[in-house]
Structure 1
Amino acid sequence: MLFKKIKFNGFILALLIAIPIAYIFPNGSRWLHLNTVTDIGIGLIFFFYGLKLSKDTFRSGVRNYKLHLLIHLSTFVLFPLLVLPFRPMMNGETADLLWVGMFFLAVLPSTVSSSVVMVSIAKGNIPAAIFNASLSGLIGVVLTPLWLGLVVEDAQGVSVVTVITKLLLQIVIPLTLGIMLHHKIGHFAVKKSTLIGYFDKTIIVLIVYSSFCLSFNAHLFSGMRLEVLLLLFAAILALFLLVMFVVNTVSKKLGFSTEDRVTALFCGSKKSLVHGSVMAKIMFGHSINASIYILPVMIYHISQLLIVAFIAEKFNKRATASN
């Protein structure tokens, strides 16, 4: 029942199916002109995202500054600082590429929809969850490429001017336009949230498929051993659990209520696959390595949903029992 509530099974299945399809039809991305399709799709994703952002959401959430600080420090500072020290230990091209993927994951903003749904299931502070998840996406537009620019020396030959131009055209301008039009047609975006959600997920699946097409054409995965992928999964899982432990500990030290602790725990440990797919396409251009950079984000996305769903249900049962 819980998995039906969060409605992610079909999306995960589509992501997983996209990989073997890319292997079988590696030229499909070029035939279908997916580069143009996904460029337009990215702009629409952020336009609709802006349409759904309400000023009331931000007004109602600004007061609880300790909670907000903890969530965003976890998302944009704790995560990258946990991954950064491992850079010197990465020996070999594959290890270095996977580390870049891990760091890329670490600097992404928090996800919006699943964070709010999980907080709701766990009986947390829903207004604070909406506020922080929305704000995280806005902050990520600036901080994610800034972190990458400072640490990752080569974004596959994409110039700074090109990246800034793409950010403006595909994210900042559509997002700003959506926010400006919220009071006029924002109700349409809210009413059609389910349909827009399907559209967002379709674009993400197409980006993943297109990225893997490039990699399979370049035979990028031919030399990657299974134990390397298992080690990557273990590292991602360890990162997720460590962040949850730190956020939970700090929340208790700060004397947060159970509702605020739930919100900090879920919003401060989540990472957005939507922003990850979009940023990878913008930051790394048409790199054959793009799928490797997206791979940790996909693994993290699936892991966080499964683990947080279990934890949310535990909080829900505890809250129900205490009433």
Structure 2
Amino acid sequence: MPLRLVKRLARDWFLLGMLCAVVLAVLFPEFGASGGPMHADVVADVGIFAVFLLHGLGLPAAQLRAGVVTWRVHVVVQTFTFVVFPLLWWLGDAAVGRWLPSDVSLGLLYLCAVPSTISSSVAMTGAARGNVPAAIFNASLSSLLGIVLTPLIIGLFASATGQSLSMGEAVLKLATLLLLPLALGQLLRPLVGAWFARYRPYTNAFDRAMILLLVYASFCDSIASGAFSKYGAQVLGLAFLGAVLLLAIVLALTTRVARGLGFSKEDEIAVVFCGSKKTLASGVPMARLLFGANPALGLIVLPLMFYHQAQLLVCSLLAERYARRPAPPPGA
């Protein structure tokens, strides 16, 4: 198993890109910091708009409609994404929050508040021979709900970390730079949907490149402000431990709940992969909008970055295990 994990890491250029973005931020923090030569605030806004325009172009409306019928799956997945995750953070914060740096605690809260990811949830559900239409519906619905629910959850719980969030300003930013391009992408889909599908590998590469740019800018602000030197290596260990522990708990809970409710194996797979995933592709831009003025932005997105890699590695192994189950007999 360790060898397979190493091979996956070697194939994932996005992981290498995130490491390079952090290293560049350490070496050249002034260039990408707010007010620096890169003009990160303007570049970030343009990049976020472009990323969510592409997301809107990629939302398959027909497949979304096909997934509506399995409503029990949707209820379970969205409950995990926007209720169970924040409650787990609340319980953890009550137990150990007093010993955590406030910025790390806020980062773990943000991880619990962001929506599910679309691409990897659907891809892994398909690889595991699960209910793909339900996965598409849930992952897409989660992204749309997150525009409202993510800042609402942060605003509700953030006071426990000593932070605050202006709800009105947050929702306005998200509506302008997330909801507007999503809606525009859906409107343009009938006109350019075929072109978009033809060049999907290139648009995906652009999407990931913009995320790396936002990661670089986020870490530049934190490093320039001294946020990382304030805590030292301890913060890395705490963020990593919190992310991995959260993933293990949620994977166990989603599996138990799906089986307890008598879901089919295909629906169980959709619940496990959609209910446990958190999006880095949408999470980093949303963090930039919600916490852009916070000098500890790099610390806030750190748990999400660790969670992203952990969920890809662990869930890909789970998908392989699910896929090895015997195929149902013809006509079953």
Bin for the TM-score computed over the shorter chain:
over 0.9
Give distance in 1, aligned partners of 2:265 and 2:6: 23
Give distance in 1, aligned partners of 2:290 and 2:6: 33
Q: Which has the higher contact order (CA 8 A, sep 6+)?
A: 1
The alignment of Structure 1 onto Structure 2 pairs a total of residues equal to: 322
Q: Give the share of equivalent positions with the same residue, in percent.
A: 37
Contact 1:123 1:319 in 2 (8 A): no
Map of 2:26 onto structure 1 = 23
Give distance in 1, aligned partners of 2:21 and 2:322: 34
Contact 2:82 2:115 in 1 (8 A): yes
Map of 1:40 onto structure 2 = 46
Confirm whether residue 52 of structure 1 aligns to residue 58 of structure 2.
Answer: yes
Give distance in 2, aligned partners of 1:140 and 1:215: 25
DSSP-derived class of the 2:101 partner: helix
Q: CA deviation at 1:147?
A: 0.8
Confirm whether residue 274 of structure 1 aligns to residue 281 of structure 2.
Answer: yes
Q: CA deviation at 1:186?
A: 2.1
- Shift of the 159–265 alpha-carbon distance from structure 1 to 2, 3 Å rule, reads closer
Aligned runs of 1:98-109 on 2, under 5 Å?
98-109=104-115
Map of 2:297 onto structure 1 = 290
Q: CA deviation at 1:8?
A: 6.4
Contact 1:100 1:293 in 2 (8 A): yes
DSSP-derived class of the 1:181 partner: helix
184, 190, 198: which one aligns with 1:183: 190
Give distance in 1, aligned partners of 2:297 and 2:200: 29
List runs of 5+ in structure 1 lacking aligned partners: none
Contact 2:255 2:272 in 1 (8 A): yes
Query: How high is the TM-score relative to the length of structure 1?
Result: 0.92
**Which deviates the most, 165-174 or 275-284?**
165-174
Aligned runs of 1:1-323 on 2, under 5 Å?
9-29=12-32, 30-88=36-94, 89-91=96-98, 95-153=101-159, 159-319=166-326
DSSP-derived class of the 2:53 partner: helix
DSSP-derived class of the 2:313 partner: helix
Contact 2:8 2:313 in 1 (8 A): no
Q: CA deviation at 1:230?
A: 2.0
**Which deviates the most, 28-37 or 67-76?**
28-37
Give distance in 1, aligned partners of 2:278 and 2:171: 22
Contact 1:6 1:117 in 2 (8 A): no
- Shift of the 108–155 alpha-carbon distance from structure 1 to 2, 3 Å rule, reads farther
Q: CA RMSD in A?
A: 2.5
Contact 1:123 1:259 in 2 (8 A): yes
Contact 2:129 2:322 in 1 (8 A): yes
Query: How high is the TM-score relative to the length of structure 2?
Result: 0.90
Give distance in 2, aligned partners of 1:158 and 1:96: 14
